[in-house]
Amino acid sequence: MDIEAVRADLLALQHRIVRALETLDGQRFIRDVWQRMPDEPLRGEGVSCILEGGALIERGGVGFSHVQGDALPPSATAARPQLAGHAFEALGVSAVLHPENPYCPTAHLNVRLLSATPHAADAARPVFWFGGALDLTPYYGFEDDARHFHRTCRDALAPFGETLYPRFKQACDAYFFLKHRDEPRGIGGIFYDDFSELSFERGCAMMQSVGAAFLDAYLPIIEQRRHVPFGARERAFQAYRRGRYVEFNLLFDRGTLFGLQSGGRTESILLSMPPAAHWRYHWKPGPDSPEARLYRDFLRPRSWL
């Protein structure tokens, strides 16, 4: 495993995303370079890029991290109990964008590589696996946007097997789901975890392809919707739906749980949070309203191809 080559690819991906978003927004990201001390439970370093109060992006984060620890946290060994207590290394890039305009959806990307080193008494070689997600959370749905997003996800996975998009699409629908509300977070995309079916080299290539698809999937949607007029009603609904985003990330998101359980850097872990969110008691959108259409036509798993 060439970890240094993966690190270089991920840093290059972060740089491309940040530069493209800066061009789109017109405002620069703040670049926060951080490092964990060698005597801490979680060691390593990263770069957190954050933009707040931009012309288009109300809050956006694009983060890179490369960390090592002495024992995998429970969130990482649920599907691999034989690795509990093993030393690990993890590196990846994540991006979450919350535009100000409610007609522009929130988008999320995560690609990562994890490896675990068996105990000295074991003869096995280090174990590796990949994880990732590319998903869209609209507040006002547009079928053209959903079809474009899912086509881009499918095309990113096509070189690695024709069954991957249907599998990862179904996994995404199941994962980004608020069980306590019986409600999806958005219109899905792709999600995979504990994935090691390909060789290390092919797995890295797939990770690069998914990462590169983020801009192709998202930028055309933003460019199409960024100038749609909106008012207080649309902003209020956006804040209400952002509350669902917060609930999912704090209750279910494996990346958030992994970071917090392993003693990660809290500010970087919570880059995904929106700048503001609202909750209303027993609120329902009016029948046949644009807000009701989101629930009726978009927030249920369906084929978008």
For the annotated catalytic residues, the residue numbers are 108
The token duo for 128 is 């590796």
Write b or e for each residue in 173-206: b if 16 or more Cβ atoms lie within 10 A of its Cβ, otherwise e. Answer: bebbbeeeeeebbbbbbbbbbebeebeeeebbeb
Q: Which residues contact 132 (CB under 8 A, 6 or more apart)?
A: 109, 110, 111, 112, 190, 191, 192, 195, 207, 210, 211
Place of tokens 């970890």: 3
Place of tokens 């801009």: 215
Give the relative orientation of helices 143-157 and 200-225 as an angle to the nearest 10 degrees.
160
Q: Are 214 and 136 in contact (CB under 8 A)?
A: no
Element (H, E) at 266: helix 266-269
